[in-house]
Amino acid sequence: MQVSGLCEATAIAAGSNHTIALKNDGTVWAWGQNAHGQLGDGTTATRTSPVQVQSLEGVTAIAAHDNHTLALRSDGTVWAWGDNGRDQLGDGTLVSHSSVPVQVQGLDGVTAIAASWGHSLALADDGSVWAWGNLQLGDPPTQPTPTAAELRPRKVDIDSVTAIAAGGATAAAIHSDGTVWTWQNADETPAQVENLSGVTKIAAGAHHFLALKQDGTLWAWGDNKFGQLGDGTIVNSDVPVQLVECTGVAAIAAHDHSLALKSDGVVWAWGSNIRGQLGSGVSGTESSLATPAPVQSPFQRGLLKDNVLNLFDTHPWWRSLCGFLQFVFRYLLFGWLWM
């Protein structure tokens, strides 16, 4: 269903139980669960419709995971709000959470951000990567108290990076030479993924990765419990395997399932379907898929621009009739120019 009261959105992101949207005026809006202040509206009240994040403008990118949220402003600074139990906010404090945005310390010139379950990432304009989080702070904080340096972003041991991704407990970066490097926490040294080059986009799931190459082919590796690697098996793989069904891919995303947007506008999904996340019309572990399949939609691409004729397959007859009459009206009014 359409989110009410929200238009002119240019980007979206989702945590475990909350969603955020960036509007074209640089403001950020959020809705969903808010027990940790992850909506950024100054409260911890759950919201069933979008509310504006307080005191935050000029935003160019957003990210979210679990119970915290990140925003990148046009001045290159990073702001965070929500849960801070693992130092996800990077503001140098031991507060358990923040319901309003706070600035991540020691970062400027940032061009991209990523959020995971317990840590956050930032890519700077000089190709360096910075990470913070993955500290078990607790509430109250555990002893010994973390040092100031531990509570601020730390430089990851990799340079010349062009893109970053963060998953449940993992992180990945694309080097300027098209190779991919991965690591598990903010202090671990990245390792190169073997036999993989020419990568332009990367996505990190809970325990697996997707990589999109220049030629439009898609590759996956890591955990495969639910078939999220898309190779037709549920066998884990430490090396990238190609998804032969997925070519001409334009965008990718992952969690415990995987998504691919093809250049023809069709979305493909595979992996876990416990909560119906594959969009197949059913849910449950037994309906998980080990090979990619198109996401079912009442608006499948068809003969007409607005797909009204395809509604016969998925909607009651009266809704199909309304759609067809709408098509006739537009055709008579605008003629072939509309087509």
pLDDT in tens, 83-97: 999 999 999 998 999
Q: How confident is the model at residue 315 (pLDDT cuts 50, 70, 90)?
A: very low
Q: Any idea what the CATH number is for the domain that residue 23 is in?
A: 2.130.10.30
From the list 97, 99, 88, 93, the residue with the least C-alpha distance to 64 is 88
The answer to whether residues 252 and 191 belong to one domain is yes
Q: What is the spatial distance between Cα 70 and Cα 64, in angstroms, rounded to a whole number?
A: 6
Question: What pLDDT shows up at residue 281?
Answer: 87
Question: What pLDDT shows up at residue 316?
Answer: 46
In a domain, 2, yes or no: no
Which residue shows structure tokens 């986009």? 201
The answer to whether residues 290 and 325 belong to one domain is no
In a domain, 3, yes or no: no
The answer to whether residues 96 and 197 belong to one domain is yes
How many domains does the chain contain in total? 2
The answer to whether residues 328 and 275 belong to one domain is no
- In sequence order, the 6+-apart residues with CB closer than 8 A to the CB of 184 are 169, 170, 171
The answer to whether residues 253 and 306 belong to one domain is no
Q: How confident is the model at residue 338 (pLDDT cuts 50, 70, 90)?
A: very low
Q: How far is CA 263 from CA 49, 247, 325, in A?
A: 32, 9, 30
In a domain, 286, yes or no: yes
Sign of CA pseudo-dihedral 52, 57, 62, 64: negative
In a domain, 1, yes or no: no
In a domain, 247, yes or no: yes
In a domain, 63, yes or no: yes
Q: What is the spatial distance between Cα 272 and Cα 284, in angstroms, rounded to a whole number?
A: 8
In a domain, 197, yes or no: yes
Least confident among 60-74, 143-157, 222-236, 246-260: 143-157
| pTM for the full predicted model | 0.85
Burial of 68 (0-12, 13-18, 19+ CB in 10 A): buried
The answer to whether residues 318 and 339 belong to one domain is yes
The answer to whether residues 295 and 309 belong to one domain is no
Q: Which residues pair with 9 in a beta bridge?
A: 23
In a domain, 4, yes or no: no
Question: What pLDDT shows up at residue 149?
Answer: 83
Burial of 188 (0-12, 13-18, 19+ CB in 10 A): middle
Question: What pLDDT shows up at residue 339?
Answer: 45
Question: What pLDDT shows up at residue 305?
Answer: 41
Q: What is the spatial distance between Cα 329 and Cα 234, in angstroms, rounded to a whole number?
A: 51
The answer to whether residues 318 and 187 belong to one domain is no
- In sequence order, the 6+-apart residues with CB closer than 8 A to the CB of 227 are 233, 234, 270, 271, 272, 288, 289, 290, 291
Is the pLDDT at 15 greater than 50? The verdict is yes
The answer to whether residues 183 and 315 belong to one domain is no
Question: What pLDDT shows up at residue 307?
Answer: 43
Name the DSSP class of 7. Answer: -
Q: Which residues of 224-244 are buried (b: 16+ CB within 10 A; e: fewer)?
A: bbbbbbbbbeeeeeeebbebe
Question: What pLDDT shows up at residue 304?
Answer: 37
Question: What pLDDT shows up at residue 314?
Answer: 40
Question: What pLDDT shows up at residue 312?
Answer: 41
From the list 147, 155, 151, 159, the residue with the least C-alpha distance to 134 is 151
119-131 per-position pLDDT tens digit: 899 999 999 999 9
Q: What is the spatial distance between Cα 89 and Cα 331, in angstroms, rounded to a whole number?
A: 53
Average pLDDT over residues 52-68: 97
Rounded to the nearest 10°, the torsion over CA 236, 239, 242, 243 is 20
Q: If residue 71 lies in a helix (H) or strand (E), which one and from where to where?
A: strand 68-73
The answer to whether residues 278 and 319 belong to one domain is no
Average pLDDT over residues 33-55: 97
Q: Take residue 201 and report the two structure tokens written for it.
A: 């986009």
Is the pLDDT at 333 greater than 90? The verdict is no
Q: How confident is the model at residue 62 (pLDDT cuts 50, 70, 90)?
A: very high
Average pLDDT over residues 226-243: 96
172-190 per-position pLDDT tens digit: 999 999 999 999 865 678 9
Question: What pLDDT shows up at residue 144?
Answer: 77
Average pLDDT over residues 139-153: 77
What domain range is 155 assigned to?
A: 9-300
Question: What pLDDT shows up at residue 138?
Answer: 62
Mean pLDDT across the chain, nearest whole number? 88
Is the pLDDT at 30 greater than 80? The verdict is yes
The answer to whether residues 140 and 198 belong to one domain is yes
The answer to whether residues 206 and 234 belong to one domain is yes
The phi, psi pair for 270, rounded to 5°, reads -165, 165
Q: Which residues pair with 84 in a beta bridge?
A: none
Question: What pLDDT shows up at residue 146?
Answer: 84
